[in-house]
Structure formats: structure tokens, C-alpha cells
């Protein structure tokens, strides 16, 4: 894993921990809706926090494809590479 990936993961996990009301075990396999119980708007709000921290915008069709934190990492990696 590159340094860049490690940084992205830290941002995702930190942002998510701050957004969740109870502590949860987080990994790339964590399913955002099934494991964390976020609804569609809560997912978009959580992604918005990450957008702020990374200064990038994640299009809604990309958010719709994200199921696990690993998926989110892949999307962010792609957007950072394209930026």
C-alpha cells in the first residue's frame, strides 16, 4: 500500500468514527449501509466531510456505486489521480 493510500484510509476512518454515534470496527470490508446502518443521505453527508478534507468532489453516481469502505477508497484514489 502506498503512503497516499494509507493517508486516504486514515481520512475515511477518522471521518467515519466522528460521524457514527457508537464505536464500530472499521475495515475495507465494512459495508456502509449493512454494517453501519447509514441511510442514503447519511452516506452522502459523510462523503461530504471527506470531500472537504481532501478538497475534491465525488459525483453522486460514484457514491451510488460505493458499498464498502474499500469501494470508497478506490473511488477516492481514482479521483485524486485524476485531479
Partner 1 sequence: MALLDKYAALGAQYAQVEAQGANPFNVTFEAMISATEGRYRGKPVLLLGTNNYLGLTYDPEVVEAALAATRAEGTGTTGSRIANGSYGGHKGLETELAAFYGRKHGMVFTTGYQANLGMLSVLAGKDDHLILDADSHASIYDGAKLGTAQVTRFRHNSPEDLDARLRRLDGTPGEKVIVVEGIYSMLGDTAPLKEFAEVKRKWGAYLVVDEAHSLGVLGATGRGLAEAAGVEGDVDFIVGTFSKSLAGVGGFCVSDIEGFDVLRVATRPYMFTASLPPGVIAATRAALAALRARPELRARLNENAVRLYNGLARLGFALGPEPNPVVSAIMPSPEVAFAFWARLLEAGLYTNVSLPPATPKGLALLRSSVSAAHGAAQIDQAIGMFEAVGREMGIIGADAPIAG
Which is nearest to 10 in space by CA: 65, 67, 55, 53? 53
Q: Does 25 bind partner 1 (CB under 8 A)?
A: no
**Subset of 29-48 contacting partner 1 (CB under 8 A):** 39-42, 44-45, 48
Q: Which of 4, 10, 27, 57 binds partner 1 (CB under 8 A)?
A: 57
Distance CA 19, CA 45 (A): 9
Q: Does 18 bind partner 1 (CB under 8 A)?
A: no
Which is closer to partner 1, CB of 25 or CB of 61? 61
Give residues in contact with partner 1 (CB under 8 A).
Answer: 39-42, 44-45, 48, 52, 55-61
Amino acid at each position: 500500500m502506498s503512503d497516499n493510500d494509507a493517508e486516504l484510509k486514515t481520512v475515511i476512518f477518522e471521518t467515519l468514527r466522528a460521524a457514527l454515534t457508537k464505536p464500530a470496527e472499521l475495515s475495507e470490508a465494512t459495508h456502509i449501509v449493512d454494517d453501519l446502518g447509514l441511510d442514503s443521505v447519511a452516506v452522502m453527508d459523510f462523503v461530504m466531510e471527506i470531500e472537504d478534507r481532501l478538497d475534491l468532489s465525488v459525483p453522486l453516481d460514484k457514491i451510488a456505486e460505493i458499498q464498502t469502505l474499500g469501494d470508497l477508497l478506490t473511488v477516492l484514489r481514482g479521483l485524486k489521480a485524476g485531479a
